[in-house]
Amino acid sequence: MAKSAKRATIYLDPAVHRALKLKSLETSRSVSDLVNEAVKEALAEDADDLAAFEERKAEALLSYDVMVKKLKKDGLI
């Protein structure tokens, strides 16, 4: 873990905590390292989503009813 790591208190569901502890033992990594990796992956996914939204911001919006009609017309529903 980085030297400048910050300490935080988080509350985990007991089953999630148990799973993290088991994974920690099996992978020889700390629970903090596993949580940091998972959070970084989630933030990276968010960044990808935001980039995709930015790329598509000029596209015309379809209403829900128009989309459903299009799906039905195309035989997808």
**Can you give the pLDDT at residue 3?**
76
Q: Give per-10-residue mean pLDDT for the chain (77 aa).
A: 84 98 98 97 95 92 94 96
Instruction: Check: pTM over 0.75? Answer yes or no.
Output: no
Give the per-residue pLDDT at 4: 86
Question: Of 76, 54, 57, nearest to 67 (Cα)?
Answer: 76
Token pair in block for residue 33: 């390292």
pLDDT at 1: 59
Question: Residue 2's pLDDT is what?
Answer: 61
> Which tokens in the block code for residue 60?
């015309």
